[in-house]
Structure 1
Amino acid sequence: MNESGAAPADRVLDLFHGVRLTPTQRRIAHCLVQQAGAAAYLSAAEVAELAGVSQPSVTRFAMALGHDGYPALRRRLRELSATDAADPTDAGNELQRAVRAEMGNLDRLAGQLADRARIAEVGKLLAASRPLPVLGLRAAAPLAAYFAYFAAKVHPDVRVLDDGGSLLTDRLEQAAVAGARALLAFVLPRYPRETLDALREARAAGLTVVAITDSPVSPAGEHAEVVLPAAVGTDLVFDLHTAPMTLAMVVLQAICDATPAETQTRLEAFESSAARRQLFLG
């Protein structure tokens, strides 16, 4: 990634690229990404407290990244902060900057999609899951519903799971008994506890979990076999989900590509029905 054009959180993420982290180390990494603007000035004890881990875990984390210890990692973080300070501030008001940040998030997502084989495998996995449960709670619920609305046009059995509580586990288990092989989950900040519990239950039921989430080191990574990151915009009062929604449609395209003949048949059947019922004006 070109550092001169990257946001602070993305520069911190670059430090972990290609490094296999333990669940504890992922929590530390996620903490540093969330605190990207201040991470360079946090002590090891402060990072440990924020991440909910021990101070020696922070030291081992720094060493896993190739540093002699946490002080060396903090020096690297300060170098990244200095680069941020040297960058000119984007022109425009705060609303324009928020939109430009989303453009940056989409640009980074486009870079990730250079590996078409990975997305294609995800498409095959989800297309073969009959039924296909789609999980999204709280802020992620609209994204799950949006994905499922279009997915139902090309997949015979899409089941939206957007309510928490004890019935959520029941519906996951029912989907598994009915033949589901995978779960597509939208896991977005502030990471509802129920969502992470549901991912654990899904794996216990034998489902392969595919998670669309905001970061490679988000809490979803501890419970998902496949993590598809798409950054969330944070420059306004409420989060912007432009990149996650785009990624959702990319995944749906991969599902269509995995079953082209069935997709075409189902789309033609829908268009015929829509025309007969005069559903649309245009």
Structure 2
Amino acid sequence: MSETGGEPEATARLQKLFEGHRLTPTQRRIAHCMVRRSADAPFLSSVELAELAGVSQPSVTRFAVALGFDGYPALRRHLRDVVPAAEPPAEDSYNEYQQAVQAEIDNLRHLASLLADPAPVARAGRLLAASRPLPVLGLRAATAQAAGFAYFARKVHPDVRLLDEGGTLLVDRIDAAVRAGASALLCFALPRHPREVVDALEYARGAGLTVVTVADSTFAPVARHSDVLLPAAVGTGLAFDTACAPMLLGRVLLEAMCDALPDAQARLEEFDARAAARGLFVE
């Protein structure tokens, strides 16, 4: 995918086009694909878009109709009128591994453009800093993201509880956090989205928790159960998705949480002193 100066604007206009429409999960998948390929979207055929999104060609046609167009050609003409002009994607000379890296670079650039408005991340940081304890949820593909966040967050936050196992005990652990005084829950949600994550977020909100979610898209199934949703796209060019952007967004969120914790620096210095006394690291 080519990177152009107009791509953030193209992404914003695409997202605005989809707002206010009740889309099926398949249609949300198509919308998410178009947002990720915002520079290319006006040039894709219905067959190409279907292949990229992993859906059928008739699903693309129904998607266009759901947006109020006569069919996909009318939607594509509309995109060419409203999305900033970009050159059609050139044939890529990279091999498949390089293409995967380039796609992640594009995802990181897109994340950088979203962070031009720091207000959502700053708000999320304040919510997480204020929650005692702070439950952090991540299942299956998102387990590593949740565990990484929890590992570092424990250095500055007094009570972080990692929820990385599903099953019947998950709701029990959410209840325990609520009883202990939690006010917010952080969730990392990556495709394919486990049903029990969606159910857990619905339960958490019903229990009074404010849900902050790092997800691969604003169209992810967890969106309707999140109070603050922070999107970061995943790479799909390899057999298994890559998640550099969600990982980096998690670190940005950690920074925002530290900014909202007045004793964060003192806690870090205390940890460093204990680590040095124990000879914990070899540096």
TM over 0.5: yes
Query: What's 1:234 paired with?
Result: 236
- Provide the rounded CA distance (Å) in 2 between the counterparts of 1:137 and 1:152: 19
- Provide the rounded CA distance (Å) in 2 between the counterparts of 1:44 and 1:146: 37
Cα drift, residue 269 of structure 1: 1.1
- Provide the rounded CA distance (Å) in 2 between the counterparts of 1:40 and 1:76: 14
Cα drift, residue 149 of structure 1: 0.3
- Structure 1 residues 122-137: aligned runs within 5 Å: 122-137=124-139
1:128-182 CA distance string (max 9 Å, x none): 0110000000010011001100000000000000100110001011111111111
1:167-212 CA distance string (max 9 Å, x none): 0001011111111111110110000111111111111111111110
- Provide the rounded CA distance (Å) in 2 between the counterparts of 1:130 and 1:151: 13
218, 222, 225: which is aligned to 1:223? Answer: 225
Cα drift, residue 232 of structure 1: 0.2
Query: What's 2:15 paired with?
Result: 16
Query: What's 1:87 paired with?
Result: 89
Give aligned pairs, total. 265
Question: Match for 2:278: what amino acid?
Answer: R
More deviation, 266-275/37-46: 37-46
- Provide the rounded CA distance (Å) in 2 between the counterparts of 1:131 and 1:69: 50
Mapped contact 1:28–1:58 kept (Cα < 8 A):
no
Query: What's 2:192 paired with?
Result: 190
Query: What's 1:159 paired with?
Result: 161
- Structure 1 residues 110-121: aligned runs within 5 Å: 110-121=112-123
Mapped contact 2:215–2:232 kept (Cα < 8 A):
yes
Mapped contact 2:3–2:106 kept (Cα < 8 A):
no
**TM-score between the two structures when normalised by the length of structure 2:** 0.82
- Structure 1 residues 71-110: aligned runs within 5 Å: 72-73=74-75, 75-76=77-78, 86-110=88-112
1:32 and 2:30 aligned: yes
- In the alignment, structure 2 segments of 5+ residues that lack a partner are 35-40
Query: What secondary structure sits across from 1:191 in the alignment?
Result: coil
Query: What's 2:207 paired with?
Result: 205
Query: What's 2:67 paired with?
Result: 62
Mapped contact 1:40–1:77 kept (Cα < 8 A):
no
Cα drift, residue 27 of structure 1: 3.6
Query: What secondary structure sits across from 1:227 in the alignment?
Result: strand
More deviation, 208-217/10-19: 10-19
Distance 1:239-1:14 versus aligned 2 partners, 3 A rule: farther
1:207-255 CA distance string (max 9 Å, x none): 1111101111111111111110001001111111100000000000000
- In the alignment, structure 1 segments of 5+ residues that lack a partner are 50-54
- Provide the rounded CA distance (Å) in 1 between the counterparts of 2:45 and 2:200: 31
Query: What's 2:59 paired with?
Result: 47
Distance 1:73-1:192 versus aligned 2 partners, 3 A rule: same
Question: Match for 1:219: what amino acid?
Answer: P
**TM-score between the two structures when normalised by the length of structure 1:** 0.82
What percent of counterpart residues are identical? 49
Cα drift, residue 69 of structure 1: 7.2
Query: What's 1:52 paired with?
Result: none
Query: What's 1:181 paired with?
Result: 183
Cα drift, residue 117 of structure 1: 2.1
Distance 1:12-1:131 versus aligned 2 partners, 3 A rule: same
- Provide the rounded CA distance (Å) in 2 between the counterparts of 1:29 and 1:12: 17
Mapped contact 1:32–1:39 kept (Cα < 8 A):
no
Query: What's 2:273 paired with?
Result: 272
Cα drift, residue 76 of structure 1: 3.7
- Provide the rounded CA distance (Å) in 2 between the counterparts of 1:13 and 1:33: 12
- Provide the rounded CA distance (Å) in 1 between the counterparts of 2:45 and 2:26: 11
Mapped contact 1:231–1:243 kept (Cα < 8 A):
yes
219, 229, 252: which is aligned to 1:250? Answer: 252
More deviation, 153-162/266-275: 266-275
Question: Match for 1:140: what amino acid?
Answer: A
Distance 1:39-1:184 versus aligned 2 partners, 3 A rule: farther
Mapped contact 1:151–1:158 kept (Cα < 8 A):
yes
